[in-house]
Structure 1
Amino acid sequence: MADKVKETAKQEVERVRQIAEEGAKSGAYLYPFKGIYYLATHRDLYKPLLNRLAPTLTLGLGITTIMFLFTYLPQVAVLVWTSGPLAALSTVLLVLSESSTLTMVLSKMLLIEDSLIDTFDGTLVAEGQTELVAKDRQVKSGGAGAAFGRLGKMVSKPLAKFSPQALIRYFMYLPLNFIPVVGTVAFVFLQGRRNGPSAHSRYFQLKGMNSAQREKHIEERKGAYTSFGVTSVLLEMVPIAGIFFSFSNTCGAALWAADIENGSGTAPQLREQAQKAQ
């Protein structure tokens, strides 16, 4: 039994190493940072963010307050055994991180999903991908500088990127944070592995991919999507600023999709596959 456990552990470590190596080579982890700059320099794309800023901040404040009231003391009691004298500070940082992540999960489920889709489509239009966006929503004529204002009604219902399962998985992975360093790394990796592909849900819909095609595409580019997801998760875990990073990550995902359409993305094979899916 011990030998089987060791062998399984070695296989898992090797698989993670391969994913990390593939992700590093893909360069997909750079797109969330490109999204930050893009959102900051395109005022027209501020509108979806500003429209949902107040309710999201209110939600975040409420979640943070509840987390400190009900989870700080139990967690500090556990971290005393792992962090020693630094337990109090470590717990504060942990609760803030948990609150920010939980705020992002709930806000995407309840408040900002439609706004994120508008941001994604608006970025594509600004990057000259009007024809792609027009496959699933009305796009008014005009210059690329007013991309968000050109977006009309969507033809079909967007794919659900966030569901109650996401919240369940979050709480399942949460105890990993009690393991110093290694546990937090594992938590971010697992969250990133799921969040990476979901960032392109809208793109897959615009390309008309069915579930089998999406799964095959994601499996073939697991490293790229995981690296994008890990970076985006780390950014969204930043307290308060997480809401901004949620929208900038969406810009980054759209920029990645636009590069793929132009044949200059980190995974050029996707363009050919996506065209076959049409």
Structure 2
Amino acid sequence: MSEKVKQTALEEAQRVRVLATEAVQSRAYFYPLRGVPYFLTHRDLWKPLGSKIVPTMTLGLGITTAMFLVTYVPQAAVLALFNGPLAALTTILLVLSESSTLISVLSKNFLIDEVLIDTFDGTLIARNKTVLVSDGRQIEAGNGSDPISKLGKLIKKPFQRFTPTAVIRYFLYLPLNFIPVVGTVIFVALQGRKTGPAAHARYFQLKEMSKSEQSRYIEEKKAAYTAFGVVALLLEMIPLAGIFFAFTNTVGAALWAADLEDSKSTAPNLRDQAKKAE
């Protein structure tokens, strides 16, 4: 029995090592970071954020403050039993993660869902991917080189309203934080694994990829999407600035999508497949 456990542990360690190597080689973790300077140097992309900055900052401040006031002490007491002196740090990370989840769910469903789409589409247009964007919305004449001014009425809207599944999954992962350091790392990695593919929901829609095509594509690039998701999640966990990083992460995801288009590494959509069949 002990040999079986040892063998299983070795196989799992090997699998994690392979995924980690693939994640590093993918360089996908750079895209959330690349999104920051690109966003800051393209002032036209500020418009969607500017239109929602006050309500989103107010929401973020309120939720983060309330979470620390109400949940920090009891959670720190529990984590102290498992993490010892590290409990103070791990509890901060835990509360920030919980706050960012609540802020993300509420803001993306009720405040900034459409302006995040505008940011994604605007970045693609800035990267000369107007034809791709035209599959999901009307394109206007616009004002010169301003990509946001060219965004017309949405034809397709990818973001789904709140469903309890993601939050339930999130709270199922919470006990991992009882494991000192390693548990918190695993928790963030698991959350990042879901965050990565979600960042390309709009891209998959514009490519007209079916659910099965999306699943296969995400599985092929799961290391890259996890790497992107972990960095994006850590940025959005920063108090108050998390809303800003939600937009820069969206820009980073669009830059990645544009690079994928340039490299032609995405699966062909159903329309292309039908044409080939003819």
TM-score, normalised via structure 2 length: 0.89
CA contact (8 A) 1:97 1:239 kept: no
What amino acid is the match of 1:134?
Answer: S
**TM-aligned CA distance change 1:3 to 1:106, over 3 Å:** farther
Distance in 1, Cα, partners of 2:272 & 2:98? 41
C-alpha separation in 2, matches of 1:93 and 1:202? 29
Farther off after superposition, 180-189 or 59-68: 59-68
Secondary structure of 1:209 counterpart: coil
Say if 1:85 and 1:201 are closer, same or farther in 2 by CA, change over 3 A. Answer: closer
Question: Aligned partners of 1:209 and 1:148: how far apart in 2?
Answer: 25
**Residue 82 of structure 1, CA deviation:** 3.7
Q: Equivalents in 2 of 1:247, 1:104: separation in Å?
A: 12
Question: What aligned pairs does 1:11-160 form with structure 2 within 5 A after superposition?
Answer: 11-85=11-85, 87-88=87-88, 90-142=90-142, 145-160=145-160
**Residue aligned with 2:29, SS:** helix
2: distance between equivalents of 1:180 and 1:73?
18
Q: Secondary structure at the match of 2:152?
A: strand
One-letter amino acid of the structure 1 residue matched with residue 133 of structure 2:
V
Instruction: Sort the Cα spacing of 1:177 and 1:142 in 2 relative to 1 into closer, same or farther, 3 A.
Output: same
1:251 aligns with 2:251: yes
Give the 4+ runs in structure 1 shifted more than 6 A: none
Aligned equivalent of 1:9: 9
The answer to whether residue 265 in structure 2 is matched with residue 269 in structure 1 is yes
**Letter paired with 2:265:** Q
- What is the CA-CA distance between 1:231 and the residue it aligns to? 1.1
Equivalent residue for 1:214?
214
Counterparts of 2:130 and 2:43 in 1: how far apart (Å)? 19
SS in 2 for 1:28: coil
Q: Secondary structure at the match of 1:61?
A: helix
Q: Which residue of 1 aligns with 2:204?
A: 204
Q: 2 CA distance for matches of 1:30 and 1:141?
A: 33
Mapped contact 1:48–1:119 kept (Cα < 8 A): yes
Q: Shift of the alpha carbon at 1:91?
A: 3.3
The CA RMSD over aligned residues, in Å, is 2.4
CA distance in 1, matches of 2:55, 2:12: 41
Structure-1 separation of matches of 2:168 and 2:48 = 27
Q: Which shifted more, 67-76 or 21-30?
A: 67-76
Say if 2:35 and 2:250, in contact at 8 Å, map to a contact too. Answer: yes
Question: What is the TM-score of this pair, normalised by structure 1?
Answer: 0.89
- Partner Cα separation in structure 1 for residue 65 and residue 192 of structure 2: 26
- Secondary structure, counterpart of 2:138 in structure 1: strand
Stretch moving more, 116-125 or 151-160: 151-160
**Partner SS for 1:145:** coil
Matched positions, count: 274
1:190 corresponds to 2:186: no
Return the alpha-carbon distance in structure 1 between the equivalents of residues 239 and 4 of structure 2.
41
Moved more, 214-223 or 157-166: 157-166
- How far apart are the structure 1 equivalents of 2:99 and 2:127? 34
- The percent of aligned pairs where both chains have the same amino acid is 58
* Alignment deviations for residues 197-244 of structure 1 (CA, whole Å, 9 cap, x no partner): 111110111011111111111111111111111111111111111111
Structure 1 regions of 5+ residues with no counterpart? none
Local SS of the residue matching 2:128: coil
Q: Distance in 1 between matches of 2:42 and 2:75?
A: 41
Change (3 A) 1:143 1:51: closer
Gaps of 5+ in 2: none
Letter in 1 for 2:211: S
Report the CA distance shift for 1:260/1:20 in structure 2 as closer, same or farther (over 3 A). same
Name the CA distance, whole Å, in 2 between partners of 1:144 and 1:9.
Answer: 58
2:242 alignment counterpart: 242
2:228 equivalent to 1:225: no
- CA 1:144–1:158 in structure 2 vs 1: closer, same or farther (change >3 Å)? farther
Tell me by how many angstroms 1:4 deviates. 4.6
Distance across 1 between alignment mates of 2:90 and 2:186: 17
